[in-house]
Structure 1
């Protein structure tokens, strides 16, 4: 039986979210070359190089969302104080990652500048992180249910 704070899936999911946030932050700090490297499209890279606000705002929102999701992963694992609506948040986070991972074909036309490599790699990453959140959430609440029984 796994105890709170020993949920390796949620800890790994949180670590992945922190790493993804850091990579996105790198795009803001290092600009167009990083946007290109990560496959965000030439338009985003050029806007970043021109000093336009749009790439920074969009990428900052992604960074903030990933950081909040990482905190919910840590909360669900029991390594930090329990955050409000943790169970619901983890279900939603898992669902969003998994949905993003499988729906990339439908999303691709909305972002024609993004490379196929970007879509395949980012979708694989989303499936992986979503799987970690889902497994960790299931593990955490199956343990708690067993303790309450």
Structure 2
């Protein structure tokens, strides 16, 4: 463990946790949350009819985000060292950065999402990636 916790990775864990909570809000509050958070009208429509697909996809995203938060906390020295910590943090950071920068390539795959959704969510992912990258650089010798 490090002598002092890595504040960047603690912030990264908190950011992933907040993102997980926002996704949980979609599951519990339904179509209006899917619409507000920009998931697209098809997801909102399916949620409004009680279809299983939006909740299943969103639940998977919640689990991934919570695992990412745990890895950030591990890298920060707050919890015990998790397996493959260095590889996991590099992968998490890369995914956040790529999602933030390469959204134009994803837009045609998800045509139901608005341009505002892509700009806002990509900016958020880019910020998350930068925070994780800064934390990873600081903690690299201890990972």
Q: TM-score range by the shorter chain?
A: over 0.9
- Aligned pairs for 1:133-144 (under 5 A) are 133-142=132-141, 144=142
Matched, 1:46 2:45: yes
Cα distance in 1 for partners of 2:11, 2:112 equals 31
- What is the deviation of 1:141? 1.4
Q: Identify if the C-alpha distance between structure 1 residues 43 and 7 changes in structure 2 by more than 3 Å, giving closer, same or farther.
A: same
- Aligned pairs for 1:86-105 (under 5 A) are 86-105=85-104
Cα distance in 2 for partners of 1:9, 1:116 equals 29
Normalised by the length of structure 1, the TM-score is 0.92
- What are the ranges of 5 or more consecutive residues in structure 2 without an aligned counterpart? none
Q: Identify if the C-alpha distance between structure 1 residues 88 and 107 changes in structure 2 by more than 3 Å, giving closer, same or farther.
A: same
| Max Rg structure | 1
- Aligned with 2:112: secondary structure? coil
- What are the ranges of 5 or more consecutive residues in structure 1 without an aligned counterpart? none
- Aligned pairs for 1:1-149 (under 5 A) are 3-142=2-141, 144=142
- Aligned with 1:81: secondary structure? coil
1:7-31: CA deviations, max 9, x gaps? 1110000000000000000000000
Cα distance in 1 for partners of 2:118, 2:135 equals 25
What is the Cα-based RMSD across aligned positions, in Å?
A: 1.2
Cα distance in 2 for partners of 1:132, 1:121 equals 17
Normalised by the length of structure 2, the TM-score is 0.96
Cα distance in 1 for partners of 2:84, 2:4 equals 18
1:4-55: CA deviations, max 9, x gaps? 4421110000000000000000000000000000011111001001000110
Q: Identify if the C-alpha distance between structure 1 residues 134 and 67 changes in structure 2 by more than 3 Å, giving closer, same or farther.
A: same
